[in-house]
Structure 1
Amino acid sequence: MEHLTSGDATLAIDPSHGARLTSLSIAGLELLVPPTANTFHWGCYPMAPWAGRIRYGRFEFDGRDYQLPLTMPPHAIHGTTYNRPWRRYNGAASFDIDLGPDWPFPGRAVQHFRLGPNRLDLTMEIHSDSEPFPASAGWHPWFQRQLGRGEPAQLSIQADSMYARDEHHMATDRLIPPPPGPWDDCFVGVRQPVEILWPGALRLCMEADVQHWVVYNEPEHAFCVEPQSAPPDALNIEPRLVTPEAPLTLNASLHWEIL
């Protein structure tokens, strides 16, 4: 386990379990859901080389059809790196991993973490080792609705539109005006920063150099605000080409104020 401390903030990173954040504690307030039996439902983990669901685990690229393992049947979800061991990479809080045997192209992912007294900066890179391939990436934080003090969280997100879902709960390529929540949806045209307020405890703002934000706030105990480089099912809807000369890089920051 890797631990970082700055001011009132402490961060724990578990390289053996996807280089995920297992804890983000600010002035003694734990923001993230602690470990559970379901690997998808706690901490803050990387989604690479795709984010969200891929319909039936299938996609086509350069005239060939590919089948991914159905990690959330009947679909593939959240990439190949969220629960595998990462290696230390060129720095105290940097890690990398190959994309693994379940991904049909040789490549690797890299994460960098930088903690300050009132902010956390994240960087992720997707690299191709030899040939072009489509990819997307993002982070999947699970925030607790109730902290150790104060009132339950209030999420403020303003967006122009979101991707309509079909009868299979899958994102389509059709954009619609956002209805009232709760949501399990991908938004675009998001005004940043996205704000999470725990009245009487903490205000957290999230920013990222991405156009897509997934919000999942159906559970009673927790919610997710996920910056992504592309929408769910991106390998079919909106693929981003990664080449040896042009990796996919995304950056996100969380900054906070103690109330």
Structure 2
Amino acid sequence: MKNWLTRIIGMCAAVMLMTSCEKDETKITAQPGAAPVLTASATAVDLQRANADKEGVTYTWTPVSLSFSESGYPVTGSYTLQFAKKGTNFAAMKEVDGGTTGKKTFTVAEVNTLFKDLGIAVGQPGQLDVRLKSSYSANVDPYLTALTSLSGTPYESRDLPALVWRIIGPAGNSWDSDLDMNYDFDKKVWTVTTNLKADEFKFRANKAWTNNLGADGTDGSLKQDGANLKIAEAGNYTVTLDTNASPKPVYTLKKN
């Protein structure tokens, strides 16, 4: 009889404890409030290597606004800036952690890298779409802000070779003024498309005569201190200089 009584008392205590827990339980729910708004300090960045370390653009945003059925239960959101080539609907994008301050600054160099990584060619103007993704729960779809636009023309961030070759002579400018050429980092050649006069020219490096290339025959081969090269007919030409060719440097002229 004593054992049965003990069991009954234990069961009653368990029921009372369960009832008490149900009454004490407080259900907290978070409801979305105002969506964040993304603001940009600029819609275009002047991308120049000389300004690589300077501020390019700063993005600021308001935090996710949530309302709670009970107060005192904060929710920390995460923020990610998303960049994509304009008009691609973010099919391929770059994401950057926005941190927790509601502000993210990018240097000119960082913006330049974003443009190149997203397929904007060096020297070609382009535009990026930018938006902010805000999340506060793995079970809830993130917020996506309205798009902002960012324009710029990326520059080549790789270092040029020690010898920077140019055209010198009256076919281009004069014997006192060099004509710049562009370096193709992939092909490792120097090129320029420009109007040339029917006159003479040579190639020289770093605007000095220490390293200069002139004709070594008539097959396009070049040599140090070679003879002056000649443009037979004035016009628009594409000039290509390959100083890495073997066994000798070579150049080509293509009339456009």
TM superposition score normalised by structure 2: 0.24
- Higher relative CO (Cα under 8 Å, sequence separation at least 6) belongs to 1
TM superposition score normalised by structure 1: 0.24
Q: Which structure is higher in strand share? A: 1
The structure having more radius of gyration, on CA atoms, is: 2
Q: Which structure is higher in helix share? A: 2
